[in-house]
């Protein structure tokens, strides 16, 4: 039998409820990881209605919400009735997704000074191009 510090290698000392700070931190991190692993799941029953008026007239019990969609897919409605009987209707109009704007690329643009220099080179010193100083005087 192999001995480790005078004890057999299979010896497990009695713990009696004591945990080292390292064990406590390890258990807490495992608990946090387990909590993060389960995202919430929402299940909703969606009812087709003819329009906003039909959605507002749809019966919903006190303290409940009901999601509805227009038959032509033009809008989504969420009707919520509070415990005191007050009802609210949220309307979400569906629209096509707009394409995102391309990112700004400064290499595609020139400064005013670069443009003036290029025009000066093309026109060969012709006074048709205003210099920066003369533009400021005109203002």
Q: Is residue 127 part of a domain?
A: yes
Per-residue pLDDT of 67-85, as tens digits, reads 999 999 999 999 999 999 8
C-alpha 69/C-alpha 79 separation (Å) is 11
pLDDT band at residue 17, thresholds of 50, 70 and 90? low
Residue 22 lies in a domain: no
Phi, psi dihedrals of residue 49, rounded to the nearest 5°: -130, 165
Domain extent, residue 120, equals 106-138
Structural domain total, the chain: 2
Judge whether 7 lies within some domain.
Answer: no
Burial of 43-60, coded b for 16+ CB within 10 Å and e otherwise, reads eeeeeebeeeeebeeeeb
Structure tokens belonging to residue 85 = 């009987």
Q: Across 82-121, where does the E strand assignment appear? A: 87-93
**Residue 28 covered by a domain:** no
């Amino acid at each position: 039998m192999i001995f480790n510090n005078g004890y057999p290698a299979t010896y497990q000392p009695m713990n009696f409820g004591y945990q080292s700070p390292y064990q406590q931190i390890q258990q807490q991190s495992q608990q946090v990881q387990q909590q993060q692993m389960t995202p919430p799941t929402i299940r909703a029953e969606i009812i087709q209605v003819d329009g906003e008026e039909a959605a507002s007239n749809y019966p919903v019990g006190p303290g409940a919400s009901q999601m509805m969609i227009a038959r032509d897919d033009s809008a989504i409605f969420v009707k919520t009735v509070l415990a005191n009987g007050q009802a609210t209707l949220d309307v979400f109009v569906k629209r096509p997704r707009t394409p995102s704007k391309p990112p700004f690329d400064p290499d595609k643009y020139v400064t005013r000074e670069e443009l003036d220099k290029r025009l000066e080179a093309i026109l060969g010193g012709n006074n048709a191009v205003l210099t920066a100083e003369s533009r400021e005087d005109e203002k």
